[in-house]
Amino acid sequence: MTGALAGCSSSDTPVTSTIAASATTTAAVSITGVKPPSTPESERALFDAVDRNDPAAITAALASGANIEARGEGERTPLVEATKNDAVAAASTLILAGADVNAKDSMQDSAFLYSGAEGLNEILALTLAHGADVDSVNRYGGTALIPASEHAHVESVQMLIAAGVPVNHVNDPGWTALLEAVVYGDGSARYIDVITQLLDAGADPSIRDASGKTALDNAESRGQSDVVALLQSRS
């Protein structure tokens, strides 16, 4: 950051210097019509601003030329970084500035996939409103709906179903969203809610897992009596 602060007075802070640099850059862009090239310094400033969840500093870093799709640790873009920090203000600023909600890091997580899986509904809503690929899959070959169901993120499941995420998609281990809600669930009210939503949306209870068991088979073997009753009522 030394180069970025060169020429600042002793009373300047990194934030005020960045804002001042942004104003100068914005003026230059308006005159020349050319955005400054991205540099390691501007990209570092962008990631630092994301980690602070600081929209003003994010905007300043972008105005100074930082690549909005720059890659940081783990091949994360600034938006994926913001999402994994559950930094809603940062994520919103980046998305509204045009960040790709489908760009994936080295773990095959995108802002859309991660927010759906982890129940980060404010960010999830933003990704859905800005081009989320509802058919995209994670490192397990699963849609966002599968881990959302596994963790009983009731509101996320509702949002993903409404957005058109395939209900009967089978991931690489052989699970659908319904199967994961049963196998990894505990039969509590939240899981009943998720399972009901899935069935109402057309989830197929006859699909079998890699061991040949249906959702009903798995519910019975786990003693999930309420889930058993629900599935039997839909058969």
- pLDDT of 16 > 90? The answer is no
Nearest to 192 by CA among 156, 223, 226, 166: 226
> Quick one: pLDDT at residue 33?
57
What radius of gyration, in Å, describes the C-alpha atoms of the chain? 22
Handedness of CA 230, 170, 173, 206 (dihedral sign): positive
Residues of the domain holding 176: 134-235
Distances, alpha carbon 123 to alpha carbons 52, 112, 115, 156, 166, in Å: 17, 8, 6, 11, 20
Total structural domains within the chain: 2
> Quick one: pLDDT at residue 82?
99
CATH number at residue 10: 1.25.40.20
- pLDDT of 141 > 50? The answer is yes
Handedness of CA 92, 93, 95, 96 (dihedral sign): positive
Q: Tokens representing 121?
A: 């509904």
> Does 144 map to a domain?
yes
Q: Which of 95, 110, 125 delimits the end of a domain?
A: 110
Cβ-proximal residues to 73 (8 Å cutoff; 6+ apart), any chain: none
Distances, alpha carbon 144 to alpha carbons 98, 161, 188, 196, in Å: 22, 10, 21, 18
**Is the whole model's pTM more than 0.75, yes or no?**
yes
Give the position of tokens 């913001």. Answer: 82
> Quick one: pLDDT at residue 170?
99
Range in 27-31, 56-60, 104-108, 221-225 the model is least confident about: 27-31
Q: Which of 110, 126, 149 delimits the end of a domain?
A: 110
> Quick one: pLDDT at residue 235?
80
Confidence of residue 60 (pLDDT cuts 50, 70, 90): very high
* Average pLDDT of the chain, as a whole number: 90
